[in-house]
Amino acid sequence: MVHVQGPWSELLGRLSPSAIPNNPIITGAFLFSAVIGIVLLGYVTYAGKWGYLWREWLTTVDHKKIGVMYIIVGLVMLFRGFIDALMMRTQQMLADGPHSAGFLGAAHGYLIPYHFDQIYSAHGTIMILFAATPILVGIMNVVVPLQIGARDMAFPYLNALGLWLTVVGAALIMMSLFLGDFSHAGWVGMTPLTELAYSPGVGVDYWMWAIQIASVGTTLGAANLIATIIKMRAPGMTWGRLPIFTWTALSTNIIALTSFPVLGVSLALLGLDRYFGTHFFTAGMGGNLMLYSNLFWMWGHPEVYFVILPAFGMMSEIIPTFSEKALFGYITMVAASFAIAGVSWSVWLHHFFTMGASPAVNTFFSIATMVVGIPTGVKVFNWAFTIYRGRSRFDTPMMWAIGALFMLLLGGLTGMMLAMPPINYSVHNSVFVVAHFHTMLMVVIYGIMGGVSYWFPKVFGFKLDETLGKRFFWYFTAGTIMVFVPMYLSGFMGMTRRLDYLANPHLLPFEVLEEFGIGLYTVSVYYFVRQLYVSLRDRSENRVGANAWGTGRTLEWMTASPTPFYNFAVTPRVNARDELIWRKEQGFENTLPTQYEDILMPKNTAVPLLIGAFSLALGFGLVWRIWWMTDLSLLGVVLTVIARSFVRVTDYVVGASEVEQIERRSRTRGQSPRPDSRRGGMGVFRPSRSNT
Amino acid sequence: MGVSATTASDSGKAGLWAQHHHHDAISTRTLGFWLYMLSDAMIFAGLFATYAVLSHHYNAAGGPTPHDFIHPLYAYGETLAVFTSVLAYGGAMVALRRGHKGGVLAGLGLAFLLGAVFIGMEVNEFSHLLSIGISPERSGYLSAFFALVMTHGIHMAFGLLWMATMFFQVAFQGFTDKVVYRMLNLKVFWHFQAVIWVLVFSFVYMRGVL
């Protein structure tokens, strides 16, 4: 165990009153979060919703509710990441040129370098691992069991555990804002900067343990989704009939299952360096700091495809629905997804062509990177040919899907440029690279926004407001163009990334344009929130039936919206790739099961939440080096897992007559909106008495 | 309301609804655990790669190299302990197939004891190394050596904890579905740790004296 600088006590570890940052910006952020938190808690108490919250959400094992909670966590973190972006853009605009003014104790701009470094590190970590990843995992959670005709995931209890571990990671990151500080070494954690000698504070520890704990959750979730897709398919759902989104979920989770453990190893070895004084990545004593970069990106690049493949899957569901045509090139789409997943393992070195590897090594990784363009190109043409001669309707999900296509074109082409080592050497570490990967991640965000608006009525029983949704789309797109096109230009002119102060005043026009762009983003965030509010307010006018968009093609559009907690009253038998379209053509669209049967469902449990609470204590204890807390919470996790394994009955039976009642009620509601339908859709999720 | 499910299947179609459709819990659990083992394999892959990278003599930083402290003969004793433990666990699985509770408990108990012998030997080896100043803080090479071998050791200790739990579950709950798939999964886990030990023995202990 290494000795750390500064005071340390048996009881509180490194924690002391000086850990609370003294900074007006952070105080403001704290007040903002505190007010929102108090309002939320106050509302729950005032409305007497604690019991509801506990029974229906905190202890649930229902894949749809877990998915919704994943998405909520992701959206909250997306907002936090957006605020970080706003702060960075503003700092770079203010701190441009030697004569730029300084505020709040900074020489230029309003952020001191150490604070600016923490902001970009937090922005990257949050956006990749705590916004994109949870939202995508959430959408896969909601949609995959519905698309394959399953009642729930293969392991519902493990699913809830994955959620709570992700929440622990997000909670640790939020804590770092108000207690101690965050890593200043970039979201990739560059060694040896992350070593204890150069980062003696708790920032790197927060970053490391937040990712480590959340990635355990993601790995478990990946095993769960793969097992679900392989084992829980309805009869007749052969591999050739699997919906494309489920295919991409399978390929993406194979990536997650095999790559997240490598991230775990690289962070654990860094942790050994920081806590036990080993020499894996140190600059002397036989350490090898490029080993860290290699290990990290061996996860990092597959992770990039982990986030983009589900986005491709969502586009592949949205485009056929709104073109009223079967997807063009189903088999090539599946092959392309797995080709991308496979190649994702052999391109990691293009993140550091400048490492100094031999030309042969760089050539290999350069070609492997360019090969990715082939399956991606196949996908783009498949989408284009699906739209071609289709009956296109431009509902909000379709706008996002088409927007994603354009982002993919721009990001893909600049990616091809960066795949060439000679170009890479000259633009390496410039904001050109930043603009490139943000354009690619925009594909993910566009896919997510499309997917959320597409499947929202399935989960909640009413559509999101179309007018505000489109306004959100256009402001968001305008913001994207205004921020990232100038960024490409300034990057090509040599602007280095991660700068808190720009010495070159000629870059100012670009920074002003980008600030204008982020202003458009801010407007779009307003319309997003307003869209949620208006849709919730007017939900009784926007109720939808099972087939919410009228032209749905796959199984999930056959069951009621909102989906009952058991998904399908009777498991459907699948006869075609686009089952719903097949049933329409055969005249079976409204055919109901003649007979209902008892359904076996998993019981709610508080154990995953308890393990999450212990993991939070474990993470907190590790960050602040409070050893009694780490020992006790680790013991708590182990004992809870063992105790849970002794529980014999973890399922309960829903009677056939009850299923029939719920089905009849949801059908009458779908046809004629009754006055009490204003109460909202979550009531049909689960009969309240069965919560044990 | 259109055609009923029976007419649909009568008209030559495969039918619209699958009554009484169930999934096999044990095979789902087993697949899930194999997938988990794949992620565990990736952890070891990362550690073996780290060990290979940090095996260069520069990484010893002037400190001890494998020649100075690695004894394959002692590690061979550990190998025997692991293998006989796996054999004993195999005996427990044979008894499980026959539904023989006493046999399962005896096999589990023996596998536990032999696993504990392995852990004891490893603890003894490491405490000796630490006592003569060969510690993970000495060099990058030694960091990688301890991390790899101890990660395997921690997995073995975790397996022992699992075995102890299963001993009580078999004794008090009998062969329920849950107990059976846990026994099957523990088998996969225990065999996998033996395979990893073979790799550790070959790449660390045997290659160390070449």
- Given a cut of 60, whether residue B157 has pLDDT beyond it is yes
In a domain, B11, yes or no: no
- When pLDDT is cut at 50, 70 and 90, the band that residue A546 belongs to is confident
- Given a cut of 50, whether residue A108 has pLDDT beyond it is yes
Weakest mean pLDDT among A468-482, A592-606, B129-143: A592-606
Tell me the chain B residues in contact with residue A595 when contact means C-beta distances shorter than 8 Å: 19
Query: Contact B126/B145 with Cβ under 8 angstroms?
Result: no
> From CA A94, how far away is CA A514, in angstroms rounded?
12
A:141-170 residues touching chain B, CB 8 A cutoff: 154-155, 158
- CA-nearest of A391, A143, A311, A153 to A243 is A143
Q: What is the pTM of this model?
A: 0.93
In a domain, B77, yes or no: yes
Among all residues of chain A, which has the CA nearest to that of B170? A646
- CA-nearest of A231, A303, A607 to B32 is A231
Contact A586 B137 (CB under 8 A): no
Query: Contact B5/B15 with Cβ under 8 angstroms?
Result: yes
Among all residues of chain A, which has the CA nearest to that of B40? A261
Q: Which of B14, B20, B176 sits opposite A575 (nearest CB)?
A: B14
Provide mean pLDDT across the span A138-167.
Answer: 95
Give the residue carrying structure tokens 């405490």. Answer: B127
- When pLDDT is cut at 50, 70 and 90, the band that residue A81 belongs to is very high
Evaluate whether the domain defined by A61-690 bears CATH number 1.20.210.10: yes
Contact B140 A280 (CB under 8 A): yes
- CA-nearest of A141, A336, A345, A339 to A259 is A345
In a domain, B7, yes or no: no
- Given a cut of 80, whether residue A688 has pLDDT beyond it is no
- CA-nearest of A33, A88, A118, A75 to A518 is A88
- CA-nearest of A380, A507, A390, A404 to A89 is A507
Contact B169 A286 (CB under 8 A): no
Neighbours of A193 (CB within 10 A): 16
Contact B147 A280 (CB under 8 A): yes
Tell me the chain B residues in contact with residue A280 when contact means C-beta distances shorter than 8 Å: 50, 54, 140, 143-144, 147
In a domain, B165, yes or no: yes
Contact B3 A219 (CB under 8 A): no
- Given a cut of 80, whether residue A206 has pLDDT beyond it is yes
B:87-126 residues touching chain A, CB 8 A cutoff: none
* Residue A34 Cα to chain centre, angstroms: 24
> How many domains does the structure of chain B reveal?
1
- Given a cut of 60, whether residue B71 has pLDDT beyond it is yes
Q: Which of B8, B144, B173 sits opposite A588 (nearest CB)?
A: B8
Interface test with A, best of B13, B16, B142, B154 (most A CBs within 10 A): B16
- Given a cut of 80, whether residue A676 has pLDDT beyond it is no
Tell me the per-residue pLDDT of A495-523, one tens digit each, with 9 for 90 and over. Answer: 999 999 998 889 999 999 999 999 999 99
- CA-nearest of A55, A242, A252, A54 to A139 is A252
Neighbours of B93 (CB within 10 A): 16
Tell me the per-residue pLDDT of A319-366, one tens digit each, with 9 for 90 and over. Answer: 999 999 999 999 999 999 999 999 999 999 999 999 888 999 999 999
Provide mean pLDDT across the span A105-127.
Answer: 92
pLDDT of the residue at B60: 92
Provide mean pLDDT across the span A615-634.
Answer: 96
Tell me the per-residue pLDDT of B84-109, one tens digit each, with 9 for 90 and over. Answer: 999 999 999 999 999 999 999 999 99
Instruction: Tell me the C-alpha to C-alpha distance, in Å, between residue A496 and each of A413, A439, A515, B52.
Output: 21, 18, 18, 35
Contact A587 B2 (CB under 8 A): yes
Cα three-residue angle A89-A90-A93, rounded to 5 degrees: 85
- When pLDDT is cut at 50, 70 and 90, the band that residue A472 belongs to is very high
- When pLDDT is cut at 50, 70 and 90, the band that residue A684 belongs to is very low
Looking at chain A, the whole-number percentage of residues with pLDDT higher than 90 is 77
Provide mean pLDDT across the span A604-623.
Answer: 96
Domain segments of chain A as ranges: 61-690
- Chain-wide mean pLDDT for chain A? 91
Structural domain boundaries enclosing B35: 25-208
Tell me the per-residue pLDDT of B162-210, one tens digit each, with 9 for 90 and over. Answer: 999 999 999 999 999 999 999 999 999 999 999 999 999 999 999 888 7
Contact A648 B61 (CB under 8 A): no
Contact B140 A224 (CB under 8 A): no
Tell me the per-residue pLDDT of A365-418, one tens digit each, with 9 for 90 and over. Answer: 999 999 999 999 999 999 999 999 999 999 999 999 999 999 999 999 999 999
Give the β-pairing of A599-602 and A651-654.
antiparallel
Contact B8 A591 (CB under 8 A): yes
> From CA A669, how far away is CA A671, in angstroms rounded?
5
Query: Contact A318/A401 with Cβ under 8 angstroms?
Result: yes
Provide mean pLDDT across the span A527-543.
Answer: 92
Specify the CATH number for the domain of residue B128.
1.20.120.80
Q: Is B13 on the interface with A (CB under 8 A)?
A: yes
Long-range contacts of A526-533 (CB under 8 A, 24+ apart): A527/A468, A527/A471, A527/A472, A527/A475, A528/A472, A530/A468, A531/A464, A531/A465, A531/A468, A531/A469, A531/A472, A532/A464
pLDDT of the residue at A2: 82
- Given a cut of 60, whether residue A477 has pLDDT beyond it is yes
pLDDT of the residue at A211: 96
A593 or A265, which is more confident: A265
What SS3 class is residue A326?
Answer: coil
Q: Which two tokens stand for residue A501?
A: 């102060």
Q: Which two tokens stand for residue B15?
A: 């039918």
Give the residue carrying structure tokens 């609470």. Answer: A613
Helix-strand-coil split of chain B, %, nearest 5: 80, 0, 20
Among all residues of chain B, which has the CA nearest to that of A293? B50
pLDDT of the residue at A669: 66
The alpha carbons of chain A give a radius of gyration, in whole angstroms, of: 25
**Torsion on CA atoms A642, A645, A647, A653, rounded to nearest 10:** 150
> From CA A325, how far away is CA A620, in angstroms rounded?
52
Contact B143 A223 (CB under 8 A): no
Tell me the chain B residues in contact with residue A217 when contact means C-beta distances shorter than 8 Å: none
List, in sequence order, the alpha helices (H) in A428-465: 431-460
In a domain, B31, yes or no: yes
pLDDT of the residue at A678: 38
Contact A265 B46 (CB under 8 A): yes
